[in-house]
C-alpha cells in the first residue's frame, strides 16, 4: 500500500465511522489528497467497494493497516496534516459520534500525537 492509498483508506474509513458517507465527502477527500500527495494511481471506486463489503472487524483491521502504512511512509508533518484534515472530515456534519471519536483517537495514538495538546491548538 502506498502513502496515497493509505491516506485515502484512513479518510474513507473515518468518514464511514458514523454509518454513511456521501459523494461530497468523497470529492473533498479526493481533492485534499491530490492537492497534498499527487495523482491517483489506484481505483478509488474499487477500493471503496472492497471496504464497503467488509464487516466491522474487517474495517477496523483495514484501518489499522492503513494507519501503520501511512506512519511508515510519511513524515511527521504529513501525519499532522492528515490528522488535521481527518478532524475536519469527522466534524463536517457538526457532530462527532463516539465511533468517529474512537477512530480519530486511535489515529492520533498510533502516530504518537498527544491528542489533548493537538486539540488545544485547534
Q: pLDDT tens digits, residue range 85-122? A: 998 888 877 778 898 889 999 999 999 999 989 988 87
User: Which has more confidence, 61 or 40?
Assistant: 61
Query: Nearest-CA neighbor of 7 among 21, 23, 35, 18?
Result: 35
Share of the chain above pLDDT 90, in %: 49
Output Rg (C-alpha) for the chain, integer angstroms. Answer: 13
* Total-model pTM: 0.89
CA distance linking residue 29 with residue 73, whole number of Å: 19
Instruction: Reply yes or no on whether the pLDDT at 82 is more than 90.
Output: yes
Q: Grid coordinates in use for 64? A: 489499522
Instruction: Reply yes or no on whether the pLDDT at 30 is more than 90.
Output: no
Residue 43, by phi and psi: left (phi above 0), alpha (psi -120 to 50) or beta? beta
Q: Residue 106 has what pLDDT?
A: 95
Q: What is the CATH number of the domain that holds 61?
A: 1.10.3680
Residue 24: domain span:
3-120
Q: CB of 108 within 8 A of CB of 83?
A: yes
Q: For residues 41-68, give the mean pLDDT.
A: 90
Our CA angle for 116, 31, 73, nearest 5°, is 60
How many domains would you assign to the chain? Answer: 1
Q: Grid coordinates in use for 21? A: 458517507
Instruction: Reply yes or no on whether the pLDDT at 77 is more than 80.
Output: yes
Q: Residue 29 has what pLDDT?
A: 85
Amino acid at each position: 500500500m502506498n502513502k496515497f492509498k493509505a491516506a485515502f483508506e484512513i479518510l474513507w474509513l473515518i468518514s464511514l465511522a458514523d454509518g454513511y458517507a456521501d459523494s461530497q465527502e468523497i470529492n473533498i477527500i479526493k481533492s485534499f489528497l491530490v492537492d497534498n500527495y499527487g495523482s491517483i494511481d489506484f481505483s478509488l471506486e474499487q477500493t471503496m467497494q472492497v471496504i464497503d463489503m467488509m464487516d466491522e472487524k474487517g474495517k477496523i483491521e483495514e484501518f489499522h493497516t492503513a494507519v501503520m502504512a501511512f506512519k511508515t511512509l510519511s513524515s511527521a508533518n504529513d501525519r499532522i496534516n492528515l490528522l488535521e484534515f481527518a478532524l475536519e472530515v469527522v466534524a463536517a456534519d457538526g457532530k462527532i459520534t463516539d465511533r468517529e471519536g474512537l477512530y480519530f483517537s486511535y489515529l492520533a495514538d498510533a502516530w504518537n500525537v498527544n491528542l489533548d495538546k493537538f486539540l488545544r491548538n485547534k
